[in-house]
């Protein structure tokens, strides 16, 4: 017999209450961990972006196009190293259910700027020579069984070509890989083919990507690009790529905010529930505590026991909840790779969980501690109870 055994036995005294409390703790920590994983995805996708790439789009909306000659105008500015551009194709394969991220890119420059796509040199050279060539991500190639040389028709939900059809002919020229998880599901093709081929809105682009010189001032570069077009028909808005992606991800961030608030509320409720459980627990055992005091146990040793009991309760719930969330995230990571790459639970998160459990245990043993301290043994045991 030792104090640990007593703590252990006491914990499981009211099995149903223990189980219910444990489940509520589990839910709270499940939410907490799941959110942390998703949060990481949101912030990671944002922070892995190159600071020194600028995105320029129409001031009013990304859906409006810009004149194609903006490329030269921006390239002529001081402190600018390279400018490329791209347009959104809005493609799908065979039917609209197979939506694909298809982008028309300025083929001579685009992959100099975006070196995160790993394309075999030969294939890239071949693509540059092939007007209708596409570069497809490895996992797309795997999914549809595409190989270099295959003819692939892709349809656009936006762009009609000159023959009046929404179906465009392509040939697979290259397959790329990405070191970013879920980053290998895009398709690129030559902007020149797109621009000549489309039935309307020729000589326009969706956005420009600018690489500035390493020693150039980012703010300055942004200002000089936008002021160039302030009084034109198509004014621009330039941001660092980070901000650009962040704005795209704002809806996720908003969502995360809402979940954050919910998690805080859940945690608060949880604290009250566990606190209440511990207070109830100590009330039921007043006589036992008084007896232990009579035997010579100090208030602090009884308080330690109740702290350990809270810790055990919270610990079991937290471990189960965190484990469950980790396993679940492991599963959905794959299926969410397109939508939200980079779901990951950092080791720090587990340290946070550990700290939270300890803090909560301390909080929840506070009121029981006061109660224990205030027990007058002679009054508690003197009666006939």
Partner 1 sequence: MQNNNEIILKAINKSYQKGDNTVVVHDNFNLTIKSGEFVALMGPSGLGKSTLLHLMGGLDQPTQGEVWIGGQRIDNLTQKQLTQWRAQSIGFVFQSHHLLPVLSAQGNVELPLALTPLNRKQRKEHASMALQLVSMSERADHYPKELSGGQEQRVAIARAIVSDPQILLCDEPTGNLDRKTADEILALLAKLNSELGKTIVMVTHDNKAAEYATRVINLESYILSQNKAQAEAQNNKMNKAEVSLGSNL
Ligand X SMILES: Nc1ncnc2c1ncn2[C@@H]1O[C@H](COP(=O)(O)OP(=O)(O)O)[C@@H](O)[C@H]1O
Q: In whole angstroms, how close is the CB of 382 to ligand X at the nearest point? A: 5
107 CB contacts (<8 Å, ≥6 apart)?
A: 127, 128, 190, 191, 192
Q: How many residues does the chain have?
A: 385
Judged by CB, which is closer to ligand X: 330, or 382?
382
Q: Contacts with partner 1 in 10-29 (CB under 8 A)?
A: 10, 13
Quick one: what does residue 3 bind among ligand X, partner 1, none, with the CB cut-off 5 to 8 Å set by partner type? partner 1
Give the E-state strand segments of the chain in sequence order: 53-58, 66-67, 80-88, 91-92, 99-105, 117-118, 133-137, 151-156, 167-178, 186-190, 204-205, 207-212, 236-240
- Three-state SS for 81? strand
Residue 53 interaction partner, one of partner 1, ligand X, none, beta carbon < 5-8 Å per kind: none
C-alpha 199/C-alpha 23 separation (Å) is: 61
- Interacting residues of 22 by C-beta distance below 8 A, sequence separation 6+: 313, 316, 317, 320
Residue 214's binding partner among ligand X, partner 1, none (Cβ under 5 to 8 angstroms by kind) is: none
Closest to ligand X by CB, 198 or 293: 293
Residue burial 297-319, b: 16+ Cβ < 10 Å; e: rest = eeeeebbbbbbbbbbbbbbbbbb
273 binds, options ligand X, partner 1, none, Cβ within 5 to 8 A by partner type: none
For residue 384, state whether it binds partner 1 (rule: CB under 8 A).
yes
**Which does residue 293 touch among ligand X, partner 1, none (CB within 5 to 8 A, set by kind)?**
partner 1
Q: What's the closest the beta carbon of residue 31 comes to partner 1, in angstroms?
A: 33
Tokens of 215: 């020693």
Of 15 and 121, the one with the shorter C-beta distance to partner 1 is 15
For 165, half-sphere exposure in the C-beta direction (CA atoms, 13 angstrom radius) is 7
Q: How far is the CB of 379 from partner 1 (least distance, A)?
A: 9
Report the C-alpha dihedral over residues 177, 182, 183, 187, rounded to 10 degrees: 80
* Closer residue to partner 1 (CB): 257 or 376: 376
Residues 6+ apart with CB under 8 A from 346: 36, 40
- Give me the torsion for CA of 246, 242, 49, 74, rounded to 10°: 140
Specify whether the CB–CB gap between 46 and 341 falls below 8 A: no
Report in angstroms how near the CB of residue 376 gets to ligand X at its nearest.
7
> Which partner from the list ligand X, partner 1, none does 287 bind, CB cut-off 5 to 8 Å by kind?
partner 1
Q: Which does 179 bind (CB under 5 to 8 A by kind): partner 1, ligand X, none?
A: none
For ligand X, which is the closer residue by CB, 291 or 377? 377
Query: Structure tokens of 329?
Result: 């995230």
> Near partner 1 by CB under 8 A, which window of 2-10, 107-115, 166-174, 258-266?
2-10
Distance (Å) of CA 364 to CA 11, 140, 203, 267, 286: 14, 52, 67, 13, 17
Contact mark string toward ligand X, 239..278, x via CB under 6 A: ----------------------------------------
CB of 268 to partner 1, least distance (A): 31
d(CA 189, CA 103): 7
Q: Which is nearer to ligand X, 115 or 379 (CB)?
A: 379
Site string for partner 1, 268-297 (x = CB under 8 A): -------------------xx-xxxxxxxx
Residue 1 binding partner per list ligand X, partner 1, none, with a CB distance cut-off of 5 to 8 Å that depends on partner kind: partner 1
DSSP state of 161: B
**Rule CB under 6 A: is residue 382 a binding residue for ligand X?**
yes
Interior angle at CA 253, CA 250 and CA 257, nearest 5: 140
Distance CA 101, CA 14 (A): 56
Q: Kindly state the smallest distance separating residue 381's Cβ from partner 1, in Å.
A: 5
Among 379, 380, 384, 385, binds ligand X (CB under 6 A): 379
Which residue ranges make up the site for partner 1 (CB under 8 A)?
1-3, 5-6, 9-10, 13, 287-288, 290-299, 376-378, 381-382, 384-385
Which residue ranges make up the site for ligand X (CB under 6 A)?
379, 382
């Amino acid at each position: 017999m030792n104090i640990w055994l007593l703590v252990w036995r006491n914990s499981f005294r009211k099995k149903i209450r223990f189980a219910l409390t444990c489940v509520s703790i589990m839910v709270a920590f499940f939410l907490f961990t799941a959110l942390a994983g998703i949060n990481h995805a949101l912030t990671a996708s944002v922070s892995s972006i190159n600071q020194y790439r600028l995105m320029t789009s129409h001031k009013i909306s990304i859906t409006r196009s810009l004149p194609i000659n903006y490329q030269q105008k921006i390239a002529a500015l001081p402190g600018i190293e390279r400018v490329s551009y791209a347009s959104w194709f809005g493609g799908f394969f065979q039917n609209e259910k197979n939506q694909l991220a298809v982008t028309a890119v300025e083929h001579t420059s685009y992959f100099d700027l975006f070196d995160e796509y790993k394309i075999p040199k030969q294939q890239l050279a071949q693509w540059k020579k092939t007007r209708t060539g596409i570069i497809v991500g490895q996992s797309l190639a795997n999914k549809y069984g595409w190989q270099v040389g295959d003819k692939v028709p892709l349809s656009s939900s936006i762009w009609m070509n000159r023959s009046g059809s929404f179906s465009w002919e392509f040939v697979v020229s290259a397959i790329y890989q990405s070191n970013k998880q879920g980053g290998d599901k895009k398709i690129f093709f030559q902007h020149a083919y797109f621009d000549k081929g489309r039935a309307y809105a020729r000589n326009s682009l969706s956005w420009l990507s600018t690489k500035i010189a390493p020693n150039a001032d980012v703010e300055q570069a942004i200002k000089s690009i936008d002021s160039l077009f302030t009084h034109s028909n198509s004014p621009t808005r330039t941001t660092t790529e980070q901000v650009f992606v962040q704005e795209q991800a704002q809806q996720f961030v908003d969502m995360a905010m809402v979940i954050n608030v919910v998690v805080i509320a859940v945690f608060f409720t949880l604290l009250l529930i566990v606190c209440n459980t511990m207070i109830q627990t100590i009330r039921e055992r007043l006589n036992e505590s008084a007896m232990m005091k009579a035997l010579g146990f100090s208030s602090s040793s009884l308080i330690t026991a109740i702290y350990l009991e809270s810790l055990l309760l919270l610990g079991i719930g937290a471990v189960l909840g965190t484990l469950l969330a980790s396993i679940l995230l492991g599963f959905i990571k794959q299926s969410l790779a397109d939508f939200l790459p980079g779901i990951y639970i950092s080791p720090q998160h587990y340290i946070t969980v550990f700290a939270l459990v300890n803090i909560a245990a301390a909080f929840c043993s506070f009121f029981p501690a006061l109660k224990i301290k205030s027990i007058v043994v002679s009054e508690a045991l003197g009666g006939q109870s």
